[in-house]
């Protein structure tokens, strides 16, 4: 059995199955530099076309996990996390981590930046003045232990092979491989030392996977491989045919969460997804045996203000202002141009090209088309109308927050085109389509 990189590539190229030792050798070479970028690109392409079996996916995930530091926790409660495949207005992490912490879980969340039409949790926290999104590991550990949750960005110490392989996939048209997506997501989660993980796999017009069948295939792969690698995991398939929150951007989403946690405003769709994901985490972590009891505990954590208190403590512990939740407008950047986007006709929202709504935020400067692009934290969209909303002279499609009148008008054109209005009553489809590998 050859461990030469070129022989490993050849075997996969020809449709053969790789041994775990070969996969570990290749990933170790990728981390050390013994495997060249050309060889890594060839390996990614071979996997893209030939695919991996479940044991190969598990081996790849474990090899990438072990390419750097693996955190070991000694805490009085279970170490839990959530990962979303991304969408528009998906700001759940900011509410979920403190809600689970309020119920006795510990949530060391390593989040990512936005790319394409999807927003990144890390970019949202970067809009909070003083908040350190890339602390050292010791600070990450301390805040998680003392507060119950810490949301930070990926450090160089955790799963470095993933960072290298992802950058190669990004420029070689191999990002869409379910095998490689699975290993990429799970290696970072396993390196964080988790004891339970829930996956929020989105489907619909604003999701990475636009149809439920593809989303289900990814969810099944993630659940199967994570459990095979020793991490109890379940997945929910959730709807992204319209923005999850009525805000999309960075500072505007932090302001939205401030309203949600303090109870100033709590939208039904957003709250339902948050409660279901949190409840799933409590059952995975064996904080409670019943999903019904888990939902009740999360409802209480949010309604009582305990989740808000923990969020506030996390922000302070990582360098942010102590009164962010009470006075978000005093700390978050605001755009100079704020105005409504009115539709060209009245009617009821039938459906939304949600990806285009996300791209409107990117065009305003609130997202990236390349990883190195800077972000304008102030811009975005608020009061986004959902499916079934009656649009008239009083009710706009959204409110745009822009740097200039020209940028505002360009975003307005995209948003108007993204909304289809009609005369019939319209209802959104089921918010949570199904559970995969879920606790009962």
pTM of the model: 0.92
**Six-digit token pair at 180?**
């490689």
DSSP state of 208: S
CATH domain 333-422 topology:
Aldehyde Oxidoreductase; domain 3 (3.90.1170)
Residues in the chain: 440
Q: How confident is the model at residue 439 (pLDDT cuts 50, 70, 90)?
A: very low
Residue 83 has pLDDT above 50, yes or no: yes
pLDDT in tens, 6-22: 999 999 999 999 999 99
CATH of domain 80-327: 3.40.1030.10
> Would you kindly state where each structural domain of the chain is located, as residue ranges?
5-51, 80-327, 333-422
Average pLDDT along the chain: 93
Name the architecture of domain 5-51. Answer: Up-down Bundle (1.20)
**Six-digit token pair at 208?**
């990475």
Q: How confident is the model at residue 118 (pLDDT cuts 50, 70, 90)?
A: low
Where is mean pLDDT largest: 122-131, 163-172, 396-405? 396-405
Q: What pLDDT sits at residue 440?
A: 39
pLDDT in tens, 163-175: 889 888 877 888 7
Average pLDDT over residues 52-65: 95
Average pLDDT over residues 344-372: 89
Average pLDDT over residues 279-291: 96
Q: How far apart are CA 93 and CA 95, in angstroms?
A: 5
**Six-digit token pair at 348?**
């009821």
Q: Which residues are catalytic?
A: 81-84, 121, 169, 184, 188-189
pLDDT in tens, 206-263: 988 889 999 999 999 999 999 999 999 999 999 999 999 999 999 999 999 999 999 9
Q: How far apart are CA 363 and CA 359, in angstroms?
A: 6
Q: Which of 111, 13, 10, 8 is nearest to 63 (CA)?
A: 8
Q: What pLDDT sits at residue 157?
A: 80
Residue 116 has pLDDT above 90, yes or no: no
């Amino acid at each position: 059995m050859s461990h030469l990189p070129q022989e490993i590539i050849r075997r996969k190229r020809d449709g053969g199955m790789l041994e775990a030792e070969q996969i570990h050798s290749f990933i170790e070479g990728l981390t050390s530099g013994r495997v060249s970028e050309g060889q890594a690109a060839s390996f990614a392409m071979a996997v893209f076309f030939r695919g991996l079996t479940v044991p190969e996916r598990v081996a790849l995930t474990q090899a990438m996990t072990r390419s750097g530091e693996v955190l070991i926790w000694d805490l009085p409660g279970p170490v839990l996390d959530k990962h979303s495949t991304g969408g528009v207005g998906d700001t759940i992490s900011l509410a979920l981590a403190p809600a689970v912490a309020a119920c006795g879980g510990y949530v060391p969340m390593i989040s990512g930046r936005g790319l394409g039409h999807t927003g990144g949790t890390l970019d949202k926290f970067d809009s909070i003045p003083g908040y350190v999104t890339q602390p050292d590991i010791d600070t990450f550990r301390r805040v998680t232990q003392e507060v119950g949750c810490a949301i930070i960005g990926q450090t160089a110490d955790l799963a470095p092979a993933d960072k290298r392989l992802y950058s190669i996939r990004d420029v070689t048209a191999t990002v869409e491989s379910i095998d490689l997506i699975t290993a990429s997501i799970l290696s970072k989660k396993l390196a964080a030392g988790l004891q339970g993980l829930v996956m929020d796999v989105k489907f619909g017009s604003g999701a990475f996977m636009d149809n439920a069948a593809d989303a289900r295939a990814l969810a099944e792969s993630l659940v199967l491989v994570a459990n095979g690698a020793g991490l109890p995991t379940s997945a929910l398939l959730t709807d992204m045919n319209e923005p999850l929150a009525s805000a999309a951007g960075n500072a505007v989403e932090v302001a939205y969460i401030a309203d949600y946690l303090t109870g100033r405003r709590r939208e039904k769709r957003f709250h339902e997804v948050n409660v279901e994901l949190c409840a799933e985490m409590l059952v995975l972590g064996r904080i409670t045996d019943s999903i019904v009891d888990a939902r009740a505990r999360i409802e209480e954590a949010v309604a009582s203000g305990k989740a808000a208190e923990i969020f506030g403590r996390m922000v302070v512990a990582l360098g942010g202002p102590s009164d962010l939740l009470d006075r978000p407008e005093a700390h978050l950047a605001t755009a100079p141009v704020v105005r409504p986007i009115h539709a060209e006709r009245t009617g009821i929202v039938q459906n939304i090209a949600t990806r285009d709504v996300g791209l409107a935020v990117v065009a305003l400067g609130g997202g990236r088309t390349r990883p190195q692009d800077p972000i304008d934290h102030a811009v975005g969209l608020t009061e986004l109308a959902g499916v079934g909303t009656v649009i008239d002279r009083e009710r706009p499609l959204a409110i745009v927050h822009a740097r200039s009148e020209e940028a505002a008008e360009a975003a307005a054109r995209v948003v108007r085109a993204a909304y289809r209005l009609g005369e019939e009553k319209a209802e959104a489809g089921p918010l949570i389509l199904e559970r995969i590998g879920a606790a009962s």
